[in-house]
């Protein structure tokens, strides 16, 4: 198995914390449309009436911005030895799409929640589904690298994995 330098401890921590929070927000998202409708009907504004789903979404947004800043400052490990140009391009655009959706989903949610913009709520729901599809693809590719390609890619985010 090829050896590759891992991400920093901060990058790994942010990766798994964001993943956990996205999963938590997804599980807590059921019924948010009805809650938003009641919020709009009552004329509630500001943080009054925020749900755990809303707080977690805000935390995801902030942590993703921090993660982007850390990545711009420290970079990422080099691609796997032997990876082809198309694989590197797919990984680059896959990660860009993940980052875009991790920013877009909370922005749309906040726009709907604080701005009482129903079309943003509908777009938020669609964007969440796109994000989940990207996460599933990301996970499948990580497992492919670990168990098929055996190139050590997954160990960069899970250093204790053998």
Place of tokens 């982007």: 68
Please, is 101 exposed, middle or buried when counting C-beta atoms within 10 Å of its C-beta (0-12, 13-18, 19+)?
A: buried
Residues 39, 84 contacting (CB under 8 angstroms): no
pLDDT per residue of the chain (162 residues) written in tens, 0 to 9: 344 467 999 999 999 999 999 999 999 999 999 999 999 999 999 999 999 999 999 999 999 999 999 999 999 888 877 788 898 999 999 999 999 999 999 999 999 999 999 999 999 999 999 999 999 999 999 999 999 998 888 888 887 775
Residues 121, 115 contacting (CB under 8 angstroms): no
> Is pTM beyond 0.75 here?
yes
């Amino acid at each position: 198995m090829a050896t590759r330098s891992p991400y920093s401890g901060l990058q790994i921590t942010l990766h798994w914390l964001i993943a956990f929070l996205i999963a938590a927000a997804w599980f807590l998202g059921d019924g948010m449309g009805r809650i938003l409708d009641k919020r709009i009907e009552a004329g509630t504004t500001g943080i009054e009436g925020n749900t755990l789903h809303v707080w977690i979404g805000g935390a995801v947004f902030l942590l993703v911005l921090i993660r982007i800043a850390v990545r711009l400052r420290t970079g990422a490990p080099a691609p796997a030895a032997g990876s082809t140009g198309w694989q590197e391009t797919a990984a680059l655009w896959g990660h860009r799409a993940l980052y875009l959706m991790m920013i877009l989903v909370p922005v749309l949610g906040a726009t709907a929640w604080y701005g009482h913009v129903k079309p943003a709520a509908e777009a938020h729901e669609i964007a969440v589904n796109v994000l989940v599809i990207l996460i599933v693809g990301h996970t499948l590719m990580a497992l492919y690298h670990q168990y098929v390609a055996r190139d050590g890619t997954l160990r960069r985010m899970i250093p204790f994995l053998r």
